[in-house]
Structure formats: C-alpha cells, structure tokens
Structure 1
C-alpha cells in the first residue's frame, strides 16, 4: 500500500504543469508527458531522506522538488486477514530561495496540495490535509511541508 500511495502521489505531482502566465494545471491523463507541450511544475520527485539537511553534501537535484515522507502507521485488525491503518504523509516542496518571491513558493505548495487532497487508491484512501508549515532554516532554499492523514488497508 505504501508503494501504491507513493506511485499515485508521484504520478499526480508529475502531471502538475505550469503555463507561461505562471498558472498551475494538471496535464490530461490521455496525453504523453511531453515537457515541450506540458511544462512540469516539479522537476524532481523522490522519497524523503533528510535531503535538505545535507544539501551541500549531496548530488544536486533539480528544483522545484518534492520529497515524500511516510510517517508511522497505526494498525488495527479489521476483517479476516485484513488490517486498517492510519498514518501521516509529509510532502516536502523545495524551491530555490528568491528574495521577496516567497509568494511563488507558497503558490506551488498550494498547487501540490490541490492535486493530492482527496487522493484514493485500492490500498489507501482519504489523503486529507492536516497541517502546513514552512522551514526557514536554509540559506538557498525554501521548504514547505504539507502533512496529510491517510487511511490504509492491508491484506495479509
């Protein structure tokens, strides 16, 4: 179910595009992911591994970037051979710091939330925004963190 959720999140984020006027929109599902026609708003998507804490020591990744962090999942028995769980997923939206241009970073974070809120799949449901915060602890980047709750279903 985490694999399915990560793939769904990544797919939605990779379909988030930006037009020449700076407006965000989702690329239609039935078209090829052609960056010439549909310029992606997010250039890099990956799992969270404290990426911004060691930014000077890591190989560079293109920005804007989104990192997906899975929090603990609390499980409870459900039906025969199944478990229901509840957990959090944190979406780290990382942009370059531009003096006085934080509005663009906030707008991008809002667009990411817009494509993810309510996301459902076979092994998860109800991705719901819980909390938003901004990490100001870096010189060259701005990191917005959006925490979602999610319900899981696991068959054993």
Structure 2
C-alpha cells in the first residue's frame, strides 16, 4: 500500500530503552512513535518443568510532538491503538487488554503517553 494513499498513524516502532530520556543523544526518530517495554514478571508453574503462566505488563510509550497537539488529539491516537490491540491473542498469550494509562509531559517538545496492557502469557518447555 502506498503511504500517500494510506498513511500510517505510527511512524516508528521499537523496543523501549529510555528513549525519551536521551532524546538529544539519539538518532532522530519520526513521531508519532511507539516504544514497547516488557515489565519484569514472574512465571507460575502449572506443570513444573513443562508449563508456566504469567500475567505480564507491557508498557506502550506513545510519543508525539507537543507542537502537534490540538487539545486531545493524542488521546484519539491512543483510542485507535487500543481498538487494534484489545483482545489480541497468539500462540503464547491471550486476553491482551488495557490496564492503566499515564501522561508524561515533562519534556520540552514531546508528550509521552504510557499505556499499560496486560495479558495471560504461556510458556511450554517440552
């Protein structure tokens, strides 16, 4: 698909590495950007040595330019992301859904919204 006809709302996706804290030192990335952070979690044995489950938290750091904000525009983007992710499931997880939200506007030119999702994760070793 052509980006001119079907523009992507998210211009950059990557793993979280405190990207907004070191924004001046990094190679520039287009915005809106989404950085995925896997919060440490604990596995629980269902069948010890074979099957495990967990309820991990996944933070989505949604970064937009402050200058582009027109009231609550970035929140519409967050709603669209949620529409696409709610209920997502795969071979190793299910019940992907939003847990909490926070807005970090302690940066000069950007706004960072942190959307925390949870799911049920599976790990089968044998």
Normalising by structure 2, we get a TM-score of: 0.92
When the two structures are aligned, how many residues end up with a matched partner? 124
RMSD: 1.5
> Which residue, 71, 75, 78 being the options, matches 2:43?
75
Unmatched 5+ residue regions in structure 1?
A: 1-32
> Is residue 133 from structure 1 mapped to residue 102 from structure 2 by the alignment?
yes
Shift of 1:106: 1.3
Change (3 A) 1:85 1:103: same
> Which residue, 16, 36, 39 being the options, matches 2:4?
36
Change (3 A) 1:100 1:124: closer
Question: What's 2:14 paired with?
Answer: 46
SS for the counterpart of 1:146 is: strand
Question: What's 1:93 paired with?
Answer: 62
Cα separation, 1, equivalents of 2:75 and 2:105: 13
Question: What's 1:84 paired with?
Answer: 53
SS for the counterpart of 1:145 is: strand
Change (3 A) 1:100 1:43: closer
Cα separation, 1, equivalents of 2:71 and 2:13: 21
Identify, as 1 or 2, the structure richer in helix. 1
Does 115-124 or 72-81 show the bigger shift? 72-81
Within-5 A mapping of 1:99-114:
101-114=70-83
